[in-house]
Amino acid sequence: MTTEEIPAKAKEVRLAAHPDGALTLANFELAEAAVAEPGEGEVLVRYQYLQLAAVMQDLMKPEPSLPMPGYQIGAPMWGAAVGVVVASNSPDLAPGDIVEGMDGFKEYSTGPAGDYFKLDPDAFPSPLYYLTQGPTAYHGMVDIVEVGEGDTVFVSGAAGGVGSLAGQIAKCRGAKRVIGAAGSKAKVEYLVNELGYDAAFDYHDGPVLDRLRELAPDGIDVFFDTVGGEQFEAAVQAASAGARFALCGALSGQVGDSIGAFPRLDIMTSIVKQISIRPFATYHTPEQIWAWNSNFATWLKEERFVLPQSVVEGGLEAAPQALIDLLAGKYTGNLVVKFS
């Protein structure tokens, strides 16, 4: 059963070459592929939105450092996407259902119904609200560092897709003070004026440690790190006794110099302060995703949360340049590409 005319071919984005330094358009290939009819137990999905994330650059490398399947040269890239079922040979999904899939660098996707997660269209103002890095931010803040009342929190990469949510989660969980670091004056103002951060600073404006000592004179209790490098080193020095660190990224090493991902760890200071440093993977279980979606919906209804999201128009073909621009720091919050 179908709900619309299905094209014989559709566009997809493939990995053309592993990156050598910063990404360029030469690393991507825009191609066409046949749209397969769904077989027994399968569905055909027309994707409408694709989420982009900085982690994708690591997955484009010959040997990704993350516990996720890397992209293969000549094969379509993968990523979270939301779309509508347009044909179904499965009792589990019907044409018209809104679903999320993970092979989103293509306009159409055919696969077993179990590969797609049916979304509640009434849970959020828009299906776009499902395309966030909220599970990462929530798992790190709630399960890893157990942020709570009275905590002073520092978030690196605070205007990014993860950090912009992590700080708000901390506030919703009762943190006393949330401080963010970002890469421009405009982002700093956005953190404070729109996302409810108590303070923020541009990490280009001088030593990070000096700013932390100024903004958190009694020390930081929680550090949520997506960057690494100098910001991690400064957080160790500014930490209070028993501080908890959640590490989910090392963006300074992924897009900057090669040592950024490997900051110096002052072991003696960490021991004396009894800092708990916990790295965690960004690949999530259904239970973690459900926990985020449930709390996210509640906080939105209570008007305690804002979704910072940038939407790029132009269809799937706009995705490569959008990812390049994301890594260059041109966007605030979550980044989504809208298909034509």
Q: Both tokens of residue 321?
A: 């340049």
The whole-number pLDDT of residue 12 equals 98
**Residue pair 229/203 in contact by the 8 Å Cβ criterion:** no
Q: Three-state DSSP class for 241?
A: strand
Mean pLDDT of all residues in 207-233: 96
The whole-number pLDDT of residue 152 equals 99
Domains of the chain: 9-132+307-338 (3.90.180.10), 134-279 (3.40.50.720)
From the list 255, 297, 300, 338, the residue with the least C-alpha distance to 51 is 338
Mean pLDDT of all residues in 187-205: 96
The whole-number pLDDT of residue 258 equals 45
Distance CA 323, CA 59 (A): 13
CB atoms within 10 A of CB 167: 28
Is 254's pLDDT higher than 60?
no
Q: Both tokens of residue 266?
A: 């002052």
The whole-number pLDDT of residue 244 equals 98
Is 161's pLDDT higher than 60?
yes
Is 3's pLDDT higher than 70?
no
Higher pLDDT, 34 or 1: 34
Span 76-116, pLDDT tens digits: 999 999 999 999 999 999 999 999 999 999 999 999 999 99
Q: Which residues face 264 on adjacent strands?
A: none
DSSP state of 5: P
Higher pLDDT, 252 or 143: 143
Q: Three-state DSSP class for 106?
A: strand
Global pTM reads: 0.87
Residue 340 — pLDDT band, cuts 50, 70, 90?
A: confident
Helix 208-215 / helix 229-238 crossing angle, nearest 10 deg: 40
One DSSP character per residue, 114-171 reads GGSEE--TTSSSSGGGGSSSHHHHHIIIIIIS---TT-EEEETTTTSTTHHHHHHHHH
The whole-number pLDDT of residue 256 equals 46
Please give the C-alpha separations between residue 223 and each of 182, 184, 199, 210, 238, in angstroms, as whole numbers: 14, 20, 14, 16, 10
Is 284's pLDDT higher than 90?
no
Give Cα 83 distance to the centre of its chain.
19
Residue 243 — pLDDT band, cuts 50, 70, 90?
A: very high
Please give the C-alpha separations between residue 202 and each of 10, 181, 285, in angstroms, as whole numbers: 43, 6, 34
CA angle 172, 176, 179 (to 5 degrees): 90
Mean pLDDT of all residues in 263-287: 88
Span 35-75, pLDDT tens digits: 999 999 999 999 999 999 988 998 999 988 777 889 999 99
Residue with tokens 């390049």: 324
Mean pLDDT score across all residues of the chain: 92
The whole-number pLDDT of residue 286 equals 80
Task: Report the DSSP pairing between strands 9-15 and 81-88.
Answer: unpaired
Q: Determine phi and psi for 119, rounding to 5 degrees.
A: -105, 150
